[in-house]
């Protein structure tokens, strides 16, 4: 090879492990000549001489691997080979032998790829439901395009319009965060009101231990489920009551901590155990978003069901035995967790780093000085 390397690197930018396709990115002065020497195409035409974004099918000579290579720039190419580790590591080994240093995907992305596109693609790999994946897939191109529009507004000194665009994106930060981070639903209440049975009923199988002895749940039991296509972690907590048992006291403390950090708190009551003073105290303690009156199948004859919150909180009556109210409860949870969806043209951050960059850029714009305007452009770069 005639070229002398100044900085030649390669990286597998797709997640490690099993997969249909692995992508290896290479960058440097030797990238073009290396691709031409290692890739045998049916036509024999070198890929380096083609325009950017062109692709070529061929065989990697040292491994005999059928693959596709994309020219992303004059010094930047992507090799798309079979998934798994065998094929990709063999190709990376041949690149190492030609002077390329392998670096982590995050480091490669930070140096040579668009931050907004790559960070959203990485978030896409963490999607756990088809619905969240569809929202993230839309953002892979939509978010970088929106960022570029904001940069154009800033260079045109349309500061107020740019600031309004950023604020609109930040308004949907919580929604974007929960495309990869499950929302948390905490079930709380007195012992033996049926919290564990409700978790099992919503999950579709027995995850929590159920027993008619009060205080069976001593620790926080978590179960990952999907509600209306959104990932949710349901947490069953220890019963809230006065206790002298050190283990139970610790469990109750954990329950209260979970309530403080939940996205939705559900207070569960036994429909036959509705003592006014106790229920009022628990509602005051937990400040729930939703009330469940459980064990409706065991309601005493001629007993009237009273509203726990005097019409202040959504309430549903349930029975794990007859399944009454379970679907209604799940639907109510979904509506409360995601009351509104962003419009199809609305972009928003999906990672903490994206959120922070947008917030810092907005702060810089609001200062309205040439120096801070440049800083805003840097944060959006």
Q: Domain of 252: which CATH number?
A: 3.40.50.300
CA distance 1 to 97: 13
Q: Are residues 140 and 233 in the same domain?
A: no
Q: Is residue 181 part of a domain?
A: no
Q: Indicate whether 180 belongs to any domain.
A: no
Q: Which domain holds residue 83?
A: 9-113
Establish if 2 belongs to a structural domain.
no
Q: Note the pLDDT of residue 179.
A: 97
Q: Encode pLDDT of 329-351 as tens digits.
A: 999 999 999 999 999 999 999 99
Residues 190 and 328 in one domain: yes
- pLDDT of amino acid 280: 76
* 178 domain-assigned: no
How many domains does one find in the chain? 3
Kindly state whether residues 92 and 74 are assigned to the same domain: yes
Q: At what angle do helices 115-124 and 105-112 cross, to 10 degrees?
A: 150
Same domain, 331 and 213: yes
Do 355 and 260 fall into the same domain?
Answer: no
Is residue 328 domain-resident?
A: yes
Same domain membership, residue 347 and residue 326: no
- Given 113, 131, 163, the domain boundary residue is 113
Question: Quick one: 54 and 195 in the same domain?
Answer: no
Q: What is the pTM of this model?
A: 0.70
One domain for residues 330 and 215: yes
- Containing 213, the helix (H) or strand (E) segment is none
Q: What is the pLDDT of residue 166?
A: 98
Whether residue 217 contacts residue 207, with contact meaning beta carbons closer than 8 Å, is answered with no
| Planar angle of CA 303, 308, 310, nearest 5 degrees | 110
Q: Quick check: is 128 in a domain? A: yes
CATH number at residue 100: 3.30.1360.120
Low-confidence ranges of the chain (pLDDT < 50): 1-5, 205-218, 249
pLDDT for the residue numbered 28:
92
Do 207 and 318 lie in one domain? The reply is yes
Do 104 and 154 belong together in one domain?
A: no
Residue 2: per-residue pLDDT: 37
With respect to residue 4, please indicate whether it lies within any of the assigned structural domains. no
Q: In three state form, how does the secondary structure of 75-113 look? A: CEEEEEEECCCHHHHHHHHHHHHCCCEECCHHHHHHHHC
Residues 27 and 165 in one domain: no
How much is the pLDDT for 58? 93
């Amino acid at each position: 090879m005639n070229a002398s390397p100044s900085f030649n690197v390669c990286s597998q930018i797709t997640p490690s492990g099993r997969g249909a396709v692995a992508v290896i990115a290479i960058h440097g002065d030797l990238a073009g000549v290396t691709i031409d020497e290692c890739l045998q195409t049916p036509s024999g035409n070198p890929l380096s001489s083609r325009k950017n974004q062109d692709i070529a099918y061929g065989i990697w000579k040292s491994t005999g691997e059928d693959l596709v290579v994309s020219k992303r720039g004059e010094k930047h190419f992507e090799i798309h080979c079979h998934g798994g580790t065998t094929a990709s590591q063999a190709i990376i080994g041949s690149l190492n032998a030609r002077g390329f240093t392998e670096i982590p995907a995050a480091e490669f992305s930070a140096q040579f790829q668009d931050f907004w596109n790559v960070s959203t693609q990485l978030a896409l790999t963490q999607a756990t439901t088809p619905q969240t994946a569809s929202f993230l897939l839309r953002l892979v191109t939509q978010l970088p395009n929106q960022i570029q529009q904001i940069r154009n507004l800033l260079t045109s000194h349309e500061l107020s319009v740019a600031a309004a665009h950023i604020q609109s994106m930040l308004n949907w930060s919580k929604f974007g965060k929960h495309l990869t981070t499950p929302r948390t639903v905490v079930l709380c209440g007195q012992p033996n009101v049926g919290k564990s049975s409700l978790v099992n009923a919503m999950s579709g199988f027995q995850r929590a231990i159920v027993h008619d002895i009060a205080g069976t749940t001593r620790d926080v039991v978590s179960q990952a489920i999907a509600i209306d296509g959104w990932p949710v972690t349901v947490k069953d907590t220890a019963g809230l009551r006065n206790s002298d048992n050190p283990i139970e006291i610790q469990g109750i403390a954990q329950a209260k901590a979970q309530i403080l950090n939940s996205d939705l708190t559900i207070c569960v009551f036994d429909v036959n155990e509705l003592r006014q003073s106790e229920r009022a105290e628990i509602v005051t303690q937990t400040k729930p978003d939703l009330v469940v009156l459980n064990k409706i199948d065991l309601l005493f004859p001629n007993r009237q069901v009273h509203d726990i919150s005097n019409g202040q909180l959504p309430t549903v009556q349930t029975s794990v035995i007859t399944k009454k109210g379970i679907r209604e409860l799940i639907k109510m949870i979904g509506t409360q967790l995601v009351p509104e969806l962003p419009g199809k043209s609305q972009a928003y951050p999906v990672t903490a780093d994206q959120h922070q960059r947008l917030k810092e850029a907005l702060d810089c714009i609001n200062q309205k000085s040439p120096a801070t305007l440049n800083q805003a452009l840097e944060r959006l770069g």
